[in-house]
Amino acid sequence: ELLIVIIGVFIGNEVSNWNADRRERAGEREYLRRLDADLAADNRTLAGKLAYQREILAAAERTDAFLHEGRPCASGRCWAVLVDFFGASQWQDVASSRGVMEGLQRTPYPYDRALKQSLYDYYRSIQTLSALAAPSEYRRRLRMVIPARAQDRKSTRLNSSH
């Protein structure tokens, strides 16, 4: 009878461990599913920000070309020049949500150490980029010179009709 009790306790313990492992694996799968969705959203957001940064760069290049011409703006083109000066001063934070990074620190998931390290590296690089991409002195000075009313007219879209 003692052997039957010992075998029963052993089997019960193994079933309990198996259930705990199964729940743990299901938790990790759910975490990875949410992480995949977060990364896909980050990718879409960053792609949009990259496209916007390209518009800002184009405005900055047109502004630089105008300044190097050394001539006043042509009749009927002054607004476009002003829009480019303003467009070159646009700024956009590139930081992503810190929720995933903070979640990585609170959870054992993912168990794959290389994946976890890659995720840390990814979110740290975005944080670093965000810190480096602070609004410029050019932006501050230009926006002190351009009247707020003109800034409001321009703020919706960069001029790409050049």
Q: Looking at residues 47-53, what average pLDDT do you find?
A: 88
pLDDT in tens, 112-130: 999 999 988 988 888 887 7
HEC-encoded secondary structure of 57-103: HHHHHHHHHHHHHCCCCCCCCHHHHHHHHHHHCCCCCCCCCCHHHHH
Query: What percent of the chain stands above pLDDT 70?
Result: 91
Residue 139 near residue 93, CB atoms below 8 Å: no
Confidence band for 60, pLDDT divided at 50, 70 and 90? very high
Mean pLDDT of the chain: 83
pLDDT in tens, 75-100: 888 888 888 888 888 877 777 666 77
Q: Looking at residues 41-64, what average pLDDT do you find?
A: 89
Q: Looking at residues 33-40, what average pLDDT do you find?
A: 88
- The structure's pTM equals 0.64
